[in-house]
Amino acid sequence: MHGIYLLLCDMMLPDFEQSSLSFSTQLGTAMKVTFTGRQAFDVERVSVSIQVQVDGNNSRVILPIEYLQDNFGLHTSGSRAAMQTYEENQVAILDIAQRVVDSLTAWQDDFILTSELMAEFS
């Protein structure tokens, strides 16, 4: 499955910041995944949590800050800098994330977009 590392999570979604960028895609014939344009910094995972809806149910894509450090010059692990870097590069990141989602044949719970996976779909 293209090296996707699934992360099962029963925690509530954090409060997400709203942005104007959202898109959706169909998986198979029945599943609809929508990137809501909302994101938040996940302190426990030191990552950007990108909210999605899968058939109307909340889920999220976890983007570790290592990806931002490796690809967009983020030099710290602070939430403010990570969110600013994500927002500045959101169009490019979500373009790759959409390709990842398009490659899936089923949706598991929240998943992590690793640097290797993002590079594979860049």
Confidence band of 41 (pLDDT split at 50, 70, 90): very high
Q: Does position 32 have pLDDT exceeding 50, yes or no? A: yes
Residue the block writes with tokens 């169909």: 26
Which residue range forms the structural domain that includes residue 74?
Answer: 5-120
Number of domains in the chain: 1
For residues 14 and 36, what is the distance between their CA atoms, to the nearest angstrom?
Answer: 14
Q: What is the pLDDT of residues 56-65, one digit of tens each?
A: 889 999 999 9
CATH number at residue 63: 3.30.160.140
pLDDT at 90: 95
46: phi > 0 → left, psi -120 to 50 → alpha, else beta; which?
left
Model confidence pLDDT, tens digit, residues 6-31: 333 333 344 555 444 444 555 444 56
Question: Is 90 exceeded by the pLDDT of residue 104?
Answer: no
Show Cβ contacts of residue 121 under 8 Å, excluding neighbours closer than 6 positions. 2, 96, 99, 100, 103
107 vs 83, higher pLDDT:
83
State the DSSP string of 38-57.
Answer: EEEEETTTTEEEEEEEETTE
